[in-house]
Structure formats: C-alpha cells, structure tokens
Homo-oligomer: A and B are copies of this chain.
Amino acid sequence: MATPANLEHVPVSLSPRDRFVEFLQSRGMRVTQQRLALVDQVFSRHEHFDADQLMEQLPESGKPGHVSRPTVYRTLSEFVDAGLLRKFMLNGRSVYEHDYGYPQHDHFHCTECNKLFEFQSPELIALRDQVARDHRFRVAGHRLIINGVCEACAKARRRASNHRMNMI
C-alpha cells in the first residue's frame, strides 16, 4: 500500500535522474558521482525513507559507491529544492518521499507497524481551499497524517485477542 500501486502515476517527460541533471546544470552545479548514485538509489524504490535508511541502501564506507553522511544530507536538500522529493517529520525525524512523477496525496500512519500508507482525496483539497478562503489564508500546501491502525494490524490484533480468549 506504500507502493505506487494504488496511486496514479503522473506522466513526466524526464526520468528523475535527467530531471536532476537538468536542475543541476541550470544552477551551475556539478553532476557528481555521488549525486547520480543518490538519485538512482532514491528512485529505485518508492518507499518512504530517512537519511539513515538511504545510507544503508548504499555500499558501506570504504567500498566504491559509498557516499558520506554529510553529502547524503546535502543532496537530500537538493532533491527537495529540485522538486524531486518531499520532506516531512515523523516521530521527530525527517522522512522523504517521491514528489516528482507522483500525485499530491496524504498519509495514514499505522501506530502498530509504523508504516505509512498513501491515499488521494480531491475532496480534501477542495475542503482545504474552502476553509482557507473562509479564513483569508493563502494556501501553499498542507500536510495531513491520519494515525491509527491499518487493516493488517487490526486483524493481527483480533487474532491475538481471540487466542487469549481460547486460552482461558
């Protein structure tokens, strides 16, 4: 459910890598091996991730293809500036998700398994804009996280509960 399977893909002309190269060149920044390695890794999977998880997906220190922690942080900021990633906070840490090529969406956060699930709701956007108009607030964007328990965890919970019942 955290995969793109349930969300429409937004058609884009350039691959994330090409889009990033274009962004770098337009700003006189250099196309380095580290930046390319990171853009490739980040867009090889759709899951949400933090800086630590990204580092774990790359070769470890000393091995070719490794990228240092400061460079990972610096490059993640560049991805956000370039419109490739969106950043938000979860449990006090920065979490990133694909923005380029993916539609606006919001999240369920399961407090049992700690996973994020995406959903889209045009009605929500309409309501947001209406409420903002009512309060004369100029909307730039929003962040909504609905927390609770996902279906899988709810079932697991029920099983555990039934099991306890049988034991009595």
Q: Is A113 an interface residue (CB 8 A)?
A: no
- List residues of chain B with CB within 8 A of the CB of A123: 127
Contact A145 B146, beta carbon cutoff 8 Å = no
**Distance, CA A168 to CA B148, complexed state (A):** 56
Complex Cα spacing A131 to B89, Å: 22
Nearest B-chain residue to A135, judged by Cβ:
B119
Whether B142 and A117, one on each chain, are in contact in the complex, defined by CB atoms closer than 8 angstroms, is no
Q: Does A144 contact B144, Cβ atoms closer than 8 Å?
A: yes
Q: In whole angstroms, what is the CA distance A134 to B132 when docked? A: 26
Please, how many residues of chain A have a CB less than 8 angstroms from a CB on the other chain?
34
CB distance from A138 to the nearest CB of B (A): 4
Please encode chain A, from 126 to 140, with 1 for each CB lying within 8 Å of some chain B CB and 0 for all others: 011001101111111
A24 at the interface (CB under 8 A from B): no
Given A89-B89, A127-B123: A142 touches B145 (CB 8 Å cut-off): yes
